[in-house]
Structures are given as C-alpha cells and as structure tokens.
C-alpha cells in the first residue's frame, strides 16, 4: 500500500471585485460526475441555505451564487481559523447536450447538488442494424 500525503487547499477568492455584495467572495469547491443520463455537480458552500442561494441559467452559462450573513461573525475574535467567511460565486458554461428545462437543485448542510440531465439526443443509444 502506498502512503498518500494530505495537503490543505487554500480557499480561492474571486479575482474580480463583485461590487453588489458586501464582504469577500470565494470560489466554491465542486465535484462533477457524468452518468449516461446526465451530470451531477456538488458545490461546497458552508453557511449557505436555500434562501441565500441563487441559480441562474442565461445564454448557456450557469451562475451559482451563495450569500453568507457575515454579520454573524463581526464580533468574533478567533484564536485560529482556516475557514474564511464570505459569499460564493461560480460560473459554468453548459453544453447544448444538457436539458435546461429539467435541471434540479437541492441543498443540504451547505452542499448544493445540481442534477443536469442530458437531452434525449445526447444520450447513448443503440443503433439497429438490418440485413440487406
């Protein structure tokens, strides 16, 4: 068995200023998996609930925004912290193979799960062969 080293990944801050929201904005970490029927995306956004989550699909670009109430953390003086409090923003360009009308979203304990089903034309299918 080989030994794997664990390393801490720094939280990425959005490089461009977002002037409409107070506080810092971070890029949420995501996992994306593909199945024959579609894709699944999980985004980690601690502190974000369904009321503070905004999803938008426009011109093939899926925008995920999560807001954290930073006022809860104003008078706290942490001794040590690895968690930076802030909002979340991430954008993905979706292919035409995704059925935009059937996208579903669920959030549980700060983890957003998006179901991105493939359009029927994009699903693998068996082609029948006839003898000629």
33 falls within a domain: no
6 falls within a domain: no
23 falls within a domain: no
> pTM for this structure?
0.74
From first to last of the 132 residues of the chain, give the pLDDT tens digit: 445 554 445 666 666 655 555 567 889 999 999 998 999 999 999 889 899 999 999 999 999 999 988 777 788 887 887 777 789 999 999 988 899 999 999 999 999 999 999 988 777 778 888 887
60 falls within a domain: yes
127 falls within a domain: no
Total count of domains within the chain: 1
Range of the domain at 94: 39-72+80-121
Q: Supply the CATH number for residue 103's domain.
A: 2.60.40.790
8 falls within a domain: no
Strand 87-93 and strand 25-26: the pairing is parallel
């Amino acid at each position: 068995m080989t030994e794997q080293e664990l390393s801490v990944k720094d939280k990425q801050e959005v490089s461009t200023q977002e002037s409409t929201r107070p506080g810092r904005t971070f890029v949420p970490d995501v996992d994306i998996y593909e199945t024959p029927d579609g894709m699944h995306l999980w985004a980690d956004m601690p502190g974000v609930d369904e009321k503070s989550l905004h999803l938008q699909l426009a011109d093939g670009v899926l925008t995920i925004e999560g807001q954290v109430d930073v006022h809860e953390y104003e008078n706290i003086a942490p001794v040590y912290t690895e968690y930076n409090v802030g909002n979340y923003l991430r954008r993905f360009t979706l292919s035409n193979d995704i059925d935009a009308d059937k996208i579903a979203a669920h959030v549980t304990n700060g983890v957003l799960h998006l179901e991105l089903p493939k359009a029927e034309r994009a699903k693998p299918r068996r082609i029948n062969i006839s003898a000629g």
